[in-house]
């Protein structure tokens, strides 16, 4: 018999928060809205697909959270087209961890080096809630 601890509601919410961060803060800087819409339809970073192997255990939730956080840290640390080998290995390792649970992240690190200058996207977070 094996005892498994279930992920907490807060962990599940935090995973969704990190996924939303990718769609609202990471993707709009590197891709246009039509590409991001395709990502949504393909189920990129989705936990709702049939092939998901995430069972809702605390260990799995921690691994998914740490993988998403690591990917965000690596992507946000990229300044130019020069990618350090350490970042490349960390990026690939965390993609493999996500794939272990059936979470799709089919990107190359190079796709995140070319940042768009002006970001006008329906996916970006608004600067404020007022519309004038």
- For the chain (132 residues), the mean pLDDT of every run of 10, in chain order, is 82 94 92 92 81 76 96 89 89 95 92 75 64 54
Q: Domain residues for 74?
A: 9-112
- Please spell the DSSP secondary structure of 57-90, one letter per residue: BHHHHHHHHHHHHHHHHHHHH--SS---HHHHHH
The answer to whether 103 and 47 have CB atoms below 8 angstroms apart is: yes
Residue 71 domain flag: yes
Q: For residue 125, is it within any domain?
A: no
pTM of the model: 0.85
Q: How far is CA 23 from CA 2, 73, 91, 121, in A?
A: 37, 15, 18, 10
As a whole number, the mean pLDDT across the chain is: 85
How many domains would you assign to the chain?
A: 1
Indicate whether 99 belongs to any domain.
yes
Q: Is residue 127 part of a domain?
A: no
As given in the structure block, the two tokens for residue 116 are 């768009």
% of residues, the chain, pLDDT over 90: 53
Q: What is the pLDDT of residue 121?
A: 66
């Amino acid at each position: 018999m094996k005892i498994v601890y279930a992920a907490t509601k807060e962990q599940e919410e935090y995973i969704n928060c990190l996924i939303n961060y990718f769609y609202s803060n990471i993707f709009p800087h590197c891709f246009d809205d039509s590409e991001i819409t395709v990502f949504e339809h393909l189920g990129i970073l989705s936990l709702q697909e049939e092939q998901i192997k995430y069972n809702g255990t605390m260990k799995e939730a921690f691994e998914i959270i740490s993988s998403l956080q690591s990917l965000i840290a690596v992507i946000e640390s990229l300044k130019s087209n020069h990618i350090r080998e350490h970042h490349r290995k960390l990026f690939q390792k965390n993609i493999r961890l996500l794939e272990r649970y059936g979470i799709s992240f089919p990107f190359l690190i190079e796709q995140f080096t070319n940042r768009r200058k002006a970001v006008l996207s329906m996916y970006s977070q608004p600067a404020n809630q007022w519309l004038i």
